[in-house]
Amino acid sequence: MAWDVEGLVASLAGRSEHTRRAYEHDATEFVVWAERGGCPDPAALDRRTLRRYLAYLETRGFARRTVARKAAAVRALVAHLRRTGQLAGDPGRALHAPRREARLPRVPSAADAAALLDRAAATLNAVDEPLPRALAERDVALLELLYGAGLRVSEACGLRLDACDLGAGLVTVLGKRAKTRRVPIGAPARAALGVYLDEARPVLAGADSPPVVFLTRRGTALPPRDAHRVVAAHPLRDGRRTHPHALRHAYATHLLDGGADLRAVQELLGHADLTTTQLYTHLSQDRLRAVYAATHPRA
């Protein structure tokens, strides 16, 4: 194929499967649009065509975050074509999508997070059969790890057995762009993970099970969509369902609420850019303002 989307995807070997699929989808979508719009191959591509595509995306009513993501995929495709000699220049460098909105996530309070985890652990008392109990212990360990270590759902699902050092209270995580980091875990997460690994995982594992921590009932690696279902099955006290990334947001926000250094939180989260971590300082400041407004006599 002249546009070589397959080559672009192959060049992203260090990225997550989710990222590769998204780039493939968005780049293919651009190629289909370009070929229908009179640009049959990369040789005809210019800045004007790219600007027309950006305007097309905006007229379709996509959110700014979506337009920015699709523009990033097109820039990556054009840069790949230039690297492989199919383009003399790089018109994609001029493709500037609208700035994404810095949306503040809604996170569970510390009390809500603690209540969620306590209720999940309490469900173990009502389960006796080996397989259902193994799944319940897996779910408790997963919840504790998502909140207690602030892992991305893909990181938790990809966590390997040899990456867990429960004695030292550390897990080694493979994050975005294949970067590794060591993250401390607290006593509740260590205890839940230890019970799961000692008692539950052997029930789930089969001869061909991969060496990852979290398994399905069939002994395969737990996929992120199933992890989302696990979290959704344990709502907050007010009945609201939550999701894995909200627990990661809560982890970061509660660390900052407790006085943690912003650079340390950046390292724990695996953020490449400090400005990403700074989003959580706004959450903490908003909470402080709310407390001040509700309690200070001169507020």
Bridge partner list, 209: none
Q: What's the angle, vertex CA 174, arms to CA 282 and CA 72, rounded to 5?
A: 65
Catalytic residue, candidates 248, 249, 251, 254: 248
Is 176 labeled as catalytic in the residue annotation?
yes
Catalytic residue, candidates 51, 160, 176, 287: 176
Q: Copy the structure tokens of residue 163.
A: 């990456």
Contact 53, 30 (CB under 8 A): yes
Is 25 labeled as catalytic in the residue annotation?
no
Identify the CA nearest to 77 among candidates 148, 164, 3: 3
Report the alpha-carbon distance of residue 289 to residue 287 in Å, rounded. 5
Catalytic residue, candidates 70, 249, 254, 271: 271
**Those residues with Cβ within 8 angstroms of residue 32's Cβ, 6 or more apart along the chain or in another chain:** none
Report the alpha-carbon distance of residue 182 to residue 172 in Å, rounded. 4
SS3 of 105-144: CCCCCHHHHHHHHHHHHHHHHHCCCHHHHHHHHHHHHHHH
Catalytic residue, candidates 23, 196, 251, 280: 280
Q: Which amino acid is at 138?
A: R
Is 179 labeled as catalytic in the residue annotation?
no
Q: Which amino acid is at 163?
A: A
Is 248 labeled as catalytic in the residue annotation?
yes
Report the alpha-carbon distance of residue 213 to residue 164 in Å, rounded. 9
Beta-carbon neighbour count of residue 192 at 10 Å? 25
Catalytic residue, candidates 51, 243, 245, 287: 245
Is 245 labeled as catalytic in the residue annotation?
yes
Is 280 labeled as catalytic in the residue annotation?
yes
Catalytic residue, candidates 75, 152, 201, 254: 152
* Catalytic residue numbers, as ranges: 152, 176, 245, 248, 271, 280
